Structure 1
Amino acid sequence: MKSIYKLFLVFLFSLKIMSVSANDDYYLNLKKEAASGSAVAQYKLGAMYMIISGDYKKAFYWTNKSAIQGNAEAQHNLGLFYFYGKGVEKNIKKAGYWWEKAAKSGHAVAQNDLALLYKNGQFKKRDCQKVMALLHSSAEQQFDLAYLNIGNFYSTGECVGKDMREAVKWWEKASLKNNGQAEFNLAGAYMRGEGVMKDLVVADVYLKKACSHEYEEACKLVRK
């Protein structure tokens, strides 16, 4: 079984804020609040432009205004705009700049994403100590991708000593959050007996769980 180990960057504009209604009255009131300087309204308006109308330039404009005022959610999203080049020219350094600000405010997703840049030396020089510190800070907030990524590092021996038992421990934490790749990785560990006793029945259970959580690599194997 092939197990794909990679550090995940999270592209999240909508998961936390788009439970709001997008009716005309709400939109007009939100726009007034944003224009009057409300950082929260600016953040929500930026997200609405991105998700509902697909207008990245307006989304960037309002997200930027909110980020400048210190809104950590906006700072994280602004970093994503720069990272992917949506609504603005792609600029990894600026993505890191805003993720660092959000990370310092305790934003778990930004901490995870900033770790990616430190791992690859894309923001500042490669710094394994910083990578692991950021991931552990994110994991302390129970962010599933931080659990996954810490496990991935232990499985490859990158930035930390290789330790499959530790890898399995962190993947199990991510699995409890229904993380499909962590479950896929656990299936591989149980199939090969790495970090755990070999158990093909448990491997099959994790493989099916990974597929149920829409991890396509697992689904390909389940369908065979």
Structure 2
Amino acid sequence: MEGIVVFVFIGLAVLSMLAVLWYLFQTVRIIWAYNSLLAIASVIFSPIVHIIFYFMPKDNFDKHEAGLFKKYFLSIGLVALLGVVAAVVIPATNSSDDEIGSFDPDEIETLAYKGDPSAQSRLGAMYYVGRDDVDQDYTKAAEWSQKAADQGNANAQLVLGWLYEDGNGVRQDYNEAAEWFRKAADQDHVGAQSSLGAMYESGKGVRQDYAEASKLYKKAADQGDAHAQFRLGVMYQEGNGVRQDYAEASKLYKKAADQGNGKAQVLLGVMYESGKGVRQDYAEAKEWFGKACDNGIQVGCDQYRAYN
């Protein structure tokens, strides 16, 4: 939603600025005919000189020329008004979760009890992971996430889906988990797209559908989600839901591996070792196995030691 609003305001701003520049050119041209030095000054000190000239007598100008000045000032006014409106509207479209994150737990809880969905979502997340001086409590995490999720908060919907998926704080229910993931994914939430993709891949809570899983992973992967990039890479490597393509798999593994995904680092090392999807390169394979080992992946450690 925020992206659309920003796009609209940028479009309007560009059109308004083009109008200002056009009318500026026209008014400077007219001022030049009146007095060249004044025209030069109007360019250097615009719009101050324009304002002065606007109030000067224009007996020698026709209605069209005099009207250009009015249009010039109108276009400047529209740009100024657009800036004021944008300054108010764009921040209002932002999720206030980041702002909420700067509050202390007591302030967040106060806002949550007042019904603020962002505060409820934040409080639910705090109870979910146990942070900001709040002890982990899945029951309270589910309670607050449910309140925010019912108000359409995508972050809360994602957390609530995780809770139902794992049976933490609520009775385990894959169908319910998939439903909440879907609600958040429909709002283009990258984490929800990845989580829902995993459910379609495994067939939990939904009918197993590799094609649908790959589509959801693709949406999340394009937004930089490392887990989605890794899983989509696996699907390309195995040919599940997509045409088998080792080169595409290696590209996706590389994206995820660069973000520190240990499993992707292992599989990327395997691809360099075997020469599938990439040029065979044992030194590169060893490097990726070493990085996976540093991330605590035992297979990576075993493969790395095999090169020593």
TM-score (norm 1): 0.84
How many aligned residue pairs are there?
A: 205
Higher helix share: 2
Q: Does 2:134 align with 1:56?
A: no
What's 1:44 paired with?
122
Quote the Cα distance in structure 2 between the aligned partners of 1:153 and 1:128. 8
Quote the Cα distance in structure 2 between the aligned partners of 1:166 and 1:26. 45
The answer (yes or no) to whether the contact 2:254–2:268 under 8 Å persists in 1 is: yes
What's 1:142 paired with?
224
What's 2:192 paired with?
110
Instruction: Give deviations 1:88-111, integer Å, cap 9, x for gaps.
Output: 000000000000001011111110
The answer (yes or no) to whether the contact 2:211–2:242 under 8 Å persists in 1 is: no
Q: Does 2:175 align with 1:97?
A: no
Instruction: Report deviation, 1:20.
Output: 4.9
What's 1:26 paired with?
104
- What letter is aligned with 1:176? D
- Indicate the SS of the match to 1:34: helix
- What letter is aligned with 2:257? S
| Structure 2 residues without counterparts, runs of 5 or longer | 1-96
What's 1:79 paired with?
161
- Indicate the SS of the match to 2:121: helix
Q: Does 2:189 align with 1:124?
A: no
Relative contact order, CA 8 A, sep 6+: which one is greater?
1
Quote the Cα distance in structure 2 between the aligned partners of 1:114 and 1:186. 25
Q: Does 2:233 align with 1:154?
A: no
Quote the Cα distance in structure 1 between the aligned partners of 2:222 and 2:273. 29
Quote the Cα distance in structure 1 between the aligned partners of 2:259 and 2:193. 18
Task: Determine which structure has more spread, i.e. the larger CA radius of gyration.
Answer: 2
Alignment RMSD (CA, Å): 2.0
TM-score (norm 2): 0.62
The answer (yes or no) to whether the contact 2:165–2:173 under 8 Å persists in 1 is: yes
Identity %: 34
- What letter is aligned with 2:136? G
The list of structure 1 runs, each at least 4 consecutive aligned residues, that deviate by more than 4 angstroms after superposition, is none
Correspondent of 2:248 among 162, 166, 173: 166
Instruction: Report deviation, 1:40.
Output: 0.9
